[in-house]
Structure 1
Amino acid sequence: MATANDKRVLNSIFNPNLPFGDVVEDEEEREEGEGTEDNEAIKEAKRLELLAVQSAENGDIDQALDLFNQAVAVAPDWASGYNNRAQALRLRGDVLGALDDLNKAINLSQGKGKAACQAFTQRGLINRLEGRDEEALEDFKKAACLGSEFAKTQVVAMNPYAALCNQMLREVIGKLKRGEADEE
């Protein structure tokens, strides 16, 4: 079982664009089906994922990807494996492979829980980087509904009306602070 520190390290390596406090913990096993906590395949997949994280920390993305591939082969119905492998694929430059894995994680999690939250957030980031803002916004909205604070900030940042309102509000507050308020 991964410690809290292991989870933070994994998150910071594979989710470098997420704020440090927006940690998505690996509780998918409880959300993906009954009794999966005792499933030997998931225990082995977690062991392999920890080794993969260590490889990634050492800069060996190819070894990390190989270990994530093994984890997915051992527990093919566990969404976390696809989420984590997607990050290694993204780091290696395989955006299409990462998107395939994120879609698989979303399907396996049925769009619910922390696995889906992480997958929607990561897919949103990829879509945003690829210039597909509408798809990114939809993914961020779904992740925000599942609890991602980072996704919530992205939804606000991508809303042109919110940006305009925020700009107008800043101007009004600035005028008030300077004593320039219009008298009507």
Structure 2
Amino acid sequence: MSTQNDAAVLHALFNPNAPFGDISERNEENLQEEANQDCKFPADLLEEARNLELLGVQSAESGDPNTAVERFSKAIELLPDRASAYNNRAQALRLQGDITGALEDLNRALELSGGKGVAGRQALVQRGLILRLKGNEEAAKNDFLLAANQGSEFAKQQLVVLNPYAALCNRMLRDMIQKLCVPDP
């Protein structure tokens, strides 16, 4: 398992448009949920997989997504039914430009996690971002909604951005403020 600082740095790397610090999802309740999901794995393999993930995070932080993918893949080989490494590898694959591979890993992470817990929420947000970039806003909204319902602040912000009424209100508010600042002659 990565430290709070590792998670924040990795989050900032993979989500440059997200507000820094939107890692509040790693609260005590979510950490307990993650621990409950991990308790089904042998302790020695779990520790080794977590260490590999930590090394993968460090590789990604240092700008080496190839090594990150290798380390996440080794963690997956150790525990193929654990969602976390798939989610992390998906992010590294996305950095490499392998969108298809990233989506496959995100779908697998969602399948394993049931879309719940930290890994499930993160996979929903990551898949939502990819779907949005691919122009599939309806599917992206669905993923963001599922993640937002589990407490993801970033997903909530994305839902606002994707709401055409919110965009219209923002534009009207901007125009009104601009007219107040520069009145018509």
Does TM-score exceed 0.5, indicating one fold? yes
Residue identity opposite 1:134 in structure 2: E
Q: How many residues align?
A: 177
Q: Distance in 1 between matches of 2:81 and 2:74?
A: 13
- Please give the per-residue CA displacement for 1:31-72, whole angstroms capped at 9, x wherever unaligned: 425x34862222111100111122222322211111110011
Q: Distance in 2 between matches of 1:40 and 1:14?
A: 29
**Which residue number in structure 1 is paired with residue 37 of structure 2?**
32
**Which residue number in structure 2 is paired with residue 129 of structure 1?**
133
Conserved in 1, the CA contact under 8 Å of 2:132 and 2:140?
A: yes
Structure-to-structure mapping, 1:1-184, within 5 angstroms: 1-23=1-23, 24-25=25-26, 27=31, 29-32=34-37, 35-36=39-40, 39-168=43-172
Residue identity opposite 1:78 in structure 2: R
Conserved in 1, the CA contact under 8 Å of 2:10 and 2:60?
A: no
Secondary structure at the aligned position of 1:21 is classed as coil
Conserved in 2, the CA contact under 8 Å of 1:80 and 1:105?
A: yes
Percent identity between the two aligned chains = 55
- Structure index of larger Rg: 1
Q: Distance in 2 between matches of 1:168 and 1:87?
A: 37
Gaps in structure 2 of 5+ consecutive residues = none
Gaps in structure 1 of 5+ consecutive residues = none
Q: Residues 158, 102 of structure 1: CA spacing in aligned structure 2 closer, same or farther, 3 A cutoff?
A: same
Conserved in 1, the CA contact under 8 Å of 2:125 and 2:155?
A: yes
Secondary structure at the aligned position of 1:142 is classed as helix
TM-score, normalised relative to structure 2? 0.83
Following superposition, the deviation at residue 172 of structure 1 comes to 6.1
TM-score, normalised relative to structure 1? 0.83
Q: Distance in 2 between matches of 1:164 and 1:118?
A: 29
Q: Residues 171, 11 of structure 1: CA spacing in aligned structure 2 closer, same or farther, 3 A cutoff?
A: closer
Following superposition, the deviation at residue 163 of structure 1 comes to 2.2
Residue identity opposite 2:98 in structure 1: D
Conserved in 1, the CA contact under 8 Å of 2:12 and 2:20?
A: yes
